[in-house]
Chain A
Amino acid sequence: MQNSAEIDRLKAVVQQVLDEAKHQGASAAEASVSIDNGLSVSARLGEVETVEFHCDQGLGVTVYFGQQKGSASSNDVSADSLRETVRAACSIARYASPDEYAGLPDAADLATQFPDLDLYHPWTVNAEQAIELAIRCEQAARDFDPAISNSEGASVNSHSGVRVLGNSLGFLQGYQATRHSISCSVLAGSGDNMQRDYWYSVARNQLGLESVEQVGQEAARRTLARMNATSLSTRQCPVLFAPTMAQGLIGALIGAISGGSLYRKASFMLDKLDQVIMPDFVRIHEQPLLKGALGSSSYDAEGVATQTRDIVSAGILRAYVLSSYSARKLGMRTTGNASGVHNLTVDSGALDFTGMLQLMGTGLLVTELLGQGVNRVTGDYSRGASGFWVENGVIQFPVEEITIAGNLTNMLRNIVAIGNDVDLRGNIRTGSILLEKMSIAGQ
């Protein structure tokens, strides 16, 4: 249920900003206002550790003087600040060089349908109740096994926000959304044989969260599984990316087919449109209108309608991920991705996680990656990893202090299977992904 009075109040502010921009001589403008309120509490070793009350507001404006563009933002939405912020944006626009591709989106691309996406479910939890939940969550982790030796604590967060976007083409829309989460991180062991892992649950509706006990127990289970990890010898072998890690792999592909990387020629996916980039069983598509999902939105950061569409099908790259600007630079049409992808979904195969392990047979299961070693220009990939060594489909022992390396162009082509063990906690929805072979560096 949306609170229309609050949205209307912010719509009036956005309209004021647009009017002010026009008054100061801008030929076109776009403005957004957002307010976020939240509560975060954490508990450690059975007692409250922090209580934080969040209240953030923001105003952003982009103005155009013909083909010249300037942007400004402020966290003060008072009338004086509105004028000052618009003035700052106008001042930049006057100095910026004319850019033939700059400007608002084409009016025909703006969203006109605004279905209720079920994103707003306030949680009436107060600080005391949230502390109680966090304590229970951490307790579940510490009670799980006597080997749990220490804790970084558990936290409970609840955030509620309103955002309104408008532009001088007449677009003026807003919506409210909530986001709640529970997380827990615990340790096992001591001295130089110590491990830590965590688990979390996140949802628009608190009823969609895992129970605090589930979150705590999973954190404990994951920590214990890492105990007595060793390195591997240097080798080549199959690698299974657990679902959370597979999200990053698909994310690297999306980064490379995003307009900004393409028009800067900073992508290993240049000129790959309509070509085979993955095996023929792979389909990757956007589902922006899923009810209650974390990545749902009927329009993007420019007000352009989002699209239910295929990006990869039958292994062929069918479309890029574009904003109005990057689309114009490439001589194409925006795909409604000025704020990224929306519930990007990798279709699952038939196998669950156990089945994926069996399919791999002998190889490395990766459950954590460290560092940013992905080169978007060349596709070269080299990251720190930890996980488990698997033989005949059965986990043998935990491993750490190794790297996995390859080149994304080959890695994507050499996907063997995609599991149905989908992780729904992010904007990229995928199961585990099995790659035929990567280079492992270790002892």
Chain B
Amino acid sequence: MDLLTTVKQHFLAGNGLQTQDIDQVLGNLLNSAVDDADIYFQASHFESWSLEGGIVKEGTHSIESGAGVRVVSGDKTGFAYSDRIELPILLEAANNVKAIVRHGQQHRQRLASASKYPALYPSLDPLKSLADQEKIDLLKRIDQFTRQLDTRVEEVMVSLVSNFEHILIANADGELIADIRPLVRMNVSVIMQSNGRREQGSMGGGSRSDYRYFLEDDRAFAYAREAVRVAQVNLEAEEAPAGSMTVVLGPGWPGILLHEAIGHGLEGDFNRKGTSAFSGLVGQRVASDLCTVVDDGTLAGRRGSLSVDDEGVPTQNTVLIEKGILKGYMQDKMNARLMGVGVTGNGRRESYAHLPMPRMTNTYMLPGNSTHEEIIASVHKGIYAANFGGGQVDITSGKFVFSASEAYLIENGRITRPVKGATLIGNGPDVLTKVSMVGNNMQLDSGVGTCGKDGQSVPVGVGQPTLKIDGLTVGGTHV
């Protein structure tokens, strides 16, 4: 059975609905002068298992399903949703949301199945990829392994989380589009104590596949080793310096720089409204010519990837910045239409109970020519930030922060001492103009990112090679 048939059966047959019922609801929505409308069906299965204090002391399991009904006219949106997928309820939702549009008649087509697009991940239920006992055994093995790595380990927390989603979108073009989305994540955190000083370290990863991902390539054990290593480094860390200095960012997850500094500012909604510091800058220089940045939702199995976005548009590899010049924005259907540009497959929503908007997928910088060692050696005095926690941006002023969780001093071209984590702050539209070296070691993150916008969370990815930035403010305590 193909994916669409499977998903249709899940939502329609499972709720006593027929294709013509969906047609009727859409017909009701499109019975006015609207620009767009859709019905978004979602069912999600979630579980989490967590270990601490040496035992797997709890797990949770959650099932949610529902449908969201949306109508768009110009820049106006009406939206209602229900956790009951029943015809009378969907019709009532359609009637409610239509109140937002003027009266009129819209030409429409009958529902048909969707155009073809490649599936970027398997339609596997990750919850069932290991038996419950095997999940528990894995957590316990990781716990014991972690404790053996260093006698100073005081507490170990290991978690295993998975989500399995079915999506069906009926859109105004008469298409029915389906997706089945697996997502798994694992995390290892440790608290270590030495001479009365306590520090933490944490590492995790994930992908759009199933739990066996963590058993391949020794990944689960690698997370444990990395968590302990980070805590060991932090136990030795001294006060971080304060002030503007040269900063070298490591490859991989430090690409959160791109997500915060430029990514959000390049989302279509802010630019249509003119509220972003990047508004109106297409065609202009926003980075040094060493920088090419893309948002790519098509990477197979990545946490931020989607075969189709939540409006049923296939994802793509969108060039945001090419050799320093701003090329374009990330769009959903509404903002693309209002700005007179093409969609980019970035229309995403947290769930059926949320409205879609332009969101990132996997945002990363392409590799340059320098080696990591050359970049470190070029710095007389500065900071090497190897890894980060989270970040945040004010898209209007362009000011962004991201917080280092593992950092070192660079003195005379050499990494010398570890320093405590500190927040770095900069200005999005000009931070990339200060990029003076780009490494040849592009890495994507391990699959842990979650992005928040307007109260909605979606999984994302980031990546970059080692980067050298000439002048970024480091928020240490040592003045």
| A76 in contact with B421 (CB, 8 Å) | no
Scan B33-77; emit 1 where CB is below 8 A from any A CB, else 0: 000000000000001010011011111111111100000000111
B226 proximal to A (CB < 8 A): no
Q: Which one of A51, A72, A384 lies within 8 Å of B425 (CB-CB)? A: A384
Cβ–Cβ < 8 Å partners of A191 in chain B = 280
Give every chain B residue within 8 A of A53 (Cβ-Cβ): 79-81, 93, 96-97
Q: Is the CB of B422 within 8 A of A401?
A: no
Chain B residues within 8 Å of chain A by Cβ, number: 85
- Known A53-B79, A150-B274; judge A382-B240 contact (CB<8 A): yes
Is there an interface contact between A50 and B76, defined as CB atoms closer than 8 Å? Answer: yes
Q: Are A84 and B81 in contact (CB under 8 A)?
A: no
Which residues, 95 to 136 on B, are CB-close (under 8 Å) to A? 96-97, 99-100, 132-133, 135-136
* Chain B residue at smallest Cβ distance from A57: B83
Within 8 A of B (CB), among A392-439: 400-407, 439
- Is A27 an interface residue when CB atoms closer than 8 A count as contact? no
B450-479: which have CB < 8 Å to A? 473-479
8 A Cβ contacts from A38-71 to B: 44, 47-57, 69-71
Task: Answer whether residue A375 sits at the interface, using C-beta atoms and an 8 A cutoff.
Answer: yes
Looking at chain A's contact residues, the main secondary structure is strand
Task: With CB as the reference atom, state the residue of chain A lying closest to B45.
Answer: A88
Q: How far is the CA of A72 from the CA of B45 in the complex (A)?
A: 11
Complex interface: chain B residues within 8 A of A439 (CB): 242, 475-479
Flag if B157 contacts A407 (CB, 8 Å): no
Interface centre among B62, B66, B136, B389 (most CB of A within 10 A): B62
A443 to B55, CA, bound (A): 49
**Chain A CB within 8 A of B368 CB:** no
The verdict on A95 contacting B422 (CB below 8 Å), with A196-B275, A377-B191 known, is no
B353 touches A56 (CB 8 A): yes
Query: B392 at the A/B interface (Cβ < 8 Å)?
Result: yes
Q: Enumerate chain B residues within 8 angstroms of A195, measured Cβ to Cβ.
A: 396-397
Could you say which of A91, A194, A229, A407 has the most chain B C-beta atoms within 10 Å of its C-beta?
A194
B401 at the interface (CB under 8 A from A): yes
Known contacts A57-B83, A195-B396; A382 and B62 CB within 8 A of each other: no
In whole angstroms, what is the CA distance A264 to B61 when docked? 24
Q: Given A49, A85, A406, which contacts B76 in the complex, CB threshold below 8 Å?
A: A49
Chain B residue with Cβ nearest A188: B396
Does A339 sit within 8 A of B, measured CB to CB?
no
Which residues on the B side are within 8 Å of A406 (C-beta)? 477
Complex Cα distance A332/B280, Å?
60
**A351 on the B face (CB < 8 A):** no
Q: Does B355 contact A (CB under 8 A)?
A: yes
Instruction: Give complex CA distance A49, B73 in Å.
Output: 10
- B174 adjacent to chain A (CB < 8 Å): no
Inter-chain contact A386/B133, CB cutoff 8 Å:
no
- Give the residue of B77, B193, B401 whose beta carbon is less than 8 angstroms from that of A265: B193
With both beta carbons as reference points, the residue of chain B lying nearest to A376 in the complex is identified as B200
Inter-chain contacts of A236 with B (CB < 8 A): 479
- B246 in contact (CB, < 8 A): no
0 or 1 for each of B420-437: is its CB under 8 Å from A? (1 = yes): 111111110100000000
Task: Determine the distance from Cα of A92 to Cα of B197 in the docked complex, in whole angstroms.
Answer: 37
Distance to closest chain B CB from A200 (angstroms): 13
Among A231, A265, A377, A380, the residue within 8 A (CB) of B473 is: A231
State the CA gap A320–B149 with chains docked (Å): 33
Query: Quick one: which of B56, B274, B275 contacts A96, CB cutoff 8 A?
Result: B56
Query: Inside 8 A of A73's CB, which chain B residues have their CB?
Result: 60-63
A400 to B97, CA, bound (A): 41
Kindly report which residue of chain A lies nearest to residue B397, judged by CB atoms: A195
Q: Is A74 interfacial (CB 8 A cutoff)?
A: yes
For residue A74, which residues in chain B have a CB less than 8 angstroms away from its CB? 62-64
Q: Is A234 an interface residue (CB 8 A)?
A: yes
Q: How far is the CA of A4 from the CA of B299 in the complex (A)?
A: 53
The contact string, 1 if C-beta is below 8 Å from chain A, for chain B 167-210, is: 00000000000000000000000010100011110000000000
Q: Chain B: which residue is nearest A233 at the CB level? A: B243
A400 touching B399 by the CB < 8 A rule? Answer: yes
Partner of B132, one of A49, A51, A91: A91
Residues of A within 8 A of B429 (CB): 192
Closest to A234 in B: B243
Q: A51-B78, A85-B63, A264-B52 are in contact. Are A373 and B132 (CB under 8 A)?
A: no
List residues 155-189 of chain A with CB under 8 A from any CB of chain B: 187
Q: Is the CB of B475 within 8 A of A404?
A: yes
Counted as pairs of residues, one from A and one from B, with CB atoms less than 8 Å apart, the total is 261
Interface residues of A in 81-140 (CB under 8 A from B): 81, 84-85, 88-89, 91-92, 95-99, 102, 127
A231 CA to B96 CA in the complex, in Å?
49
B477→A70 contact, CB < 8 A:
no
Indicate whether A441 reaches chain B with its CB closer than 8 angstroms: yes
Contact B155–A265 (Cβ < 8 Å): yes
Alpha-carbon distance between A190 and B403 when the two chains are bound, in angstroms: 29
* Distance to closest chain B CB from A147 (angstroms): 14
Residues of chain B within 8 A (CB-CB) of A81 are 63
B residues near A383, Cβ cutoff 8 Å: 401, 423, 475
The reply to whether A384 and B423 form a contact with Cβ atoms under 8 Å apart is yes
The complex places the Cα of A236 from the Cα of B47 at a distance, in Å, of 47
Main SS class of interface, B: strand
Given A373-B475, A383-B475, A442-B243, A403:B78 Cβ within 8 A: no
A411 to chain B, nearest CB (A): 11
Contacts of B426 in A (CB 8 A): 401
Does the CB pair B136–A95 fall under 8 Å?
yes
- How many angstroms between the C-alpha atoms of A51 and B101 in the bound complex? 11
The answer for the CA separation of A204 and B132 in the assembled complex, in Å, is 44
B475–A384 contact, CB under 8 A?
Answer: yes
Chain A residues whose C-beta falls within 8 Å of the C-beta of B243 in the assembled complex = 234, 441-442
A405 partner residues in chain B, CB cutoff 8 A: 240, 242, 422-423, 475-477
CA A99 to CA B54, docked complex, whole Å:
10
Closest CB-CB distance, B157 to chain A, in whole Å?
7
Q: How far is the CB of A418 from chain B (nearest CB, A)?
A: 24
In the complex, whether A370 has a CB less than 8 A from a CB of chain B is yes
Residues of A within 8 A of B64 (CB): 74-75
Provide the bound-state CA to CA distance between A191 and B477, in Å: 33
Assess the A378–B396 pair: CB atoms within 8 A: no
Interface residues of A in 243-289 (CB under 8 A from B): 264-266, 270
| B154 at interface by CB-CB < 8 Å | yes
Known: A52-B355, A150-B273. A97 touches B82 (CB 8 A): no
A152 to chain B, nearest CB (A): 6
- Chain A residues within 8 Å of B157, by CB: 264
Q: Is A371 an interface residue (CB 8 A)?
A: yes
Query: Which B residue sits closest to A81, measured CB to CB?
Result: B63
B62 CB contacts on chain A under 8 angstroms: 72-74
A403 x B396 contact (CB < 8 A): no
* Beta-carbon nearest neighbor of B270 in chain A: A152
Q: How far is the CB of A380 from chain B (nearest CB, A)?
A: 6
The answer to whether residues A403 and B422 also contact, given A99-B57, A150-B273 and a CB cut-off of 8 A, is: yes
Known: A51-B78, A102-B57, A370-B392. A386 touches B399 (CB 8 A): yes
- Per the bound structure, the CA–CA distance linking A235 and B77 in Å amounts to 48
- A440 proximal to B (CB < 8 A): yes
Partner of B355, one of A50, A401, A402: A50
Cβ–Cβ < 8 Å partners of B84 in chain A? 76
Is residue A3 within 8 Å, beta carbon to beta carbon, of the partner chain?
no
Checking B49, B82, B191, B401 against A373 with a beta-carbon cut-off of 8 angstroms, the contacting residue is B401
- Hey, which chain B residues are within 8 Å of A404, CB to CB? 475
A48 to B82, alpha carbons, bound, how many Å? Answer: 23
Q: How far is the CA of A330 from the CA of B452 in the complex (A)?
A: 34
What are some 13 contacts across the A-B interface (CB < 8 A)?
Answer: A50-B355, A53-B97, A71-B60, A95-B132, A127-B99, A150-B275, A187-B275, A234-B244, A372-B392, A375-B421, A382-B403, A384-B423, A405-B422
14 new A-B pairs (CB below 8 Å) besides A71-B61, A265-B155? Answer: A48-B76, A49-B75, A53-B97, A54-B81, A55-B81, A74-B63, A84-B63, A234-B244, A377-B198, A384-B392, A402-B473, A402-B475, A439-B242, A441-B474
Across the A-B interface, the 4 shortest Cβ-Cβ residue pairs: A403-B475, A384-B401, A196-B396, A97-B55
